[in-house]
Structure 1
Amino acid sequence: MQKYVIGACALAVVSLGAQAQSSLTVYGVADAGLLLERGGADGPVQKIGSGMASSSRLGFKGKEDLGGGTVLTFILENGYSIDTGAAKQNGALFGRQALLCLSGKAGALSIGQQYTPFYKTLNNVADPFSTGMAGNAQNVFDDTTRISNTVEYITPRMGGFVADVQYGLGEAAGDSAKNRYLSASGSYEQGALTLELAHQRKENALASAHSRNTMLVARYRFGDVTGHAAHARNRDALGRESHDTLLGFTAQLSGGNKLFASLIDHRDQAAAQRHARQAALGVSHGLSRRTDLYAAYGHIRNSNGAQFHVGTAADSGSGTTGVNLGVRHVF
Structure 2
Amino acid sequence: MTARYIPKRAALACAALVATGTAWAQSSGSSVNLYGVLDACVVSNKSATGAPVQINGGGCYYGSRLGFRGNEDLGGGMRAYFQLETGFAADNGTLAQGGRLFGRKSIVGLAGGLGAVEIGREYAPAFYLLTSIDPMQLGIGSALATIWSGSPGTGAGRTDNSINYQSPDLGGFAVRVQAALGEQAAPLAARGGDSKGASLTYRNKQLYAAVSYESIANPTGTADDRATTIGAKYDFGSFSLSAIAQSGAWQGTRPESAPSSATSIYSRRFNSYLVGGSVRLGGDTLNATYKRYDDRTAANFDATVLSAVYIHPLSKRTQLYGGISHLKNARASSYGASDGNGGYSGVAAGGSSRIIDLGITHFF
Structure 2, unmatched stretches of 5+, are 1-26, 152-156, 257-267, 348-352
* Partner residue in 2 for 1:8: none
Shift of 1:285: 0.4
Q: CA deviation at 1:33?
A: 1.2
C-alpha deviations, 1:39-98, integer Å up to 9, x for none?
Answer: 2x3255211011111110011111111111111111111111111111111111111111
Match of 1:90, SS state, is: helix
Q: Cα distance, 1:190 vs. partner?
A: 2.9
* Contact preservation (8 Å) 1:139, 1:308: no
Q: Deviations over 1:280-315 (max 9, x none)?
A: 111100111111000100001000222322111132
- Change beyond 3 A, Cα 1:20–1:233: farther
Q: Secondary structure at the match of 1:218?
A: strand
The one of 138, 141, 151 equivalent to 1:131 is 138
Return the offset for 1:257. Answer: 0.4
Overall identity of the aligned pairs, in %: 32
Alignment partner of 2:339: what SS? Answer: coil
Which protein has the bigger strand share?
1
Corresponding residue SS for 1:119 = helix
Task: Report how far residue 268 of structure 1 moved.
Answer: 1.2
Q: Give 1:7's aligned residue.
A: none
Q: TM-score, normalised by structure 1?
A: 0.90
| SS, match of residue 60 in structure 2 | coil
Residue equivalent to 1:325: 358
Aligned pairs, how many? 309
Matching of residue 77 in structure 1 with residue 104 in structure 2: no
Question: Would the aligned equivalents of 1:128 and 1:249 in 2 still touch at CA under 8 Å?
Answer: yes
Q: Map residues 111-126 of structure 1 onto 2, 5 A cutoff.
A: 111-125=119-133
2:320 aligned residue: 293
Higher RCO (CA-CA < 8 Å; seq separation 6+):
1
Q: 2:170 maps to what in 1?
A: 158
4+ residue runs of structure 1 moved beyond 2 angstroms?
A: 173-176, 314-319
- The correspondence for 1:103, drawn from 111, 129, 133, is 111
1:43–1:170 Cα change, 3 Å: closer
Shift of 1:269: 1.0
Q: Hey, what's the Cα distance between the residues in 1 that align with 2:161 and 2:44?
A: 36
Q: Any gaps of 5 or more consecutive residues in structure 1?
A: 1-18
Aligned to 2:56: 49
Secondary structure, aligned partner of 1:122: helix
Q: Cα deviation per residue 1:2-38 (whole Å; 9 max; x = unaligned)?
A: xxxxxxxxxxxxxxxxx96000101010000101111
Counterpart residue identity of residue 313, structure 1: G
Q: Is the 8 A contact 1:48 1:83 kept in 2?
A: yes
1:251 aligns with 2:279: yes
Map of 2:223 onto structure 1: 209
CA shift in 2, pair 1:204/1:98, >3 Å? same
Pair 1:236-2:250 in alignment: yes
What is aligned with 1:179?
193
Matched, 1:146 2:158: yes
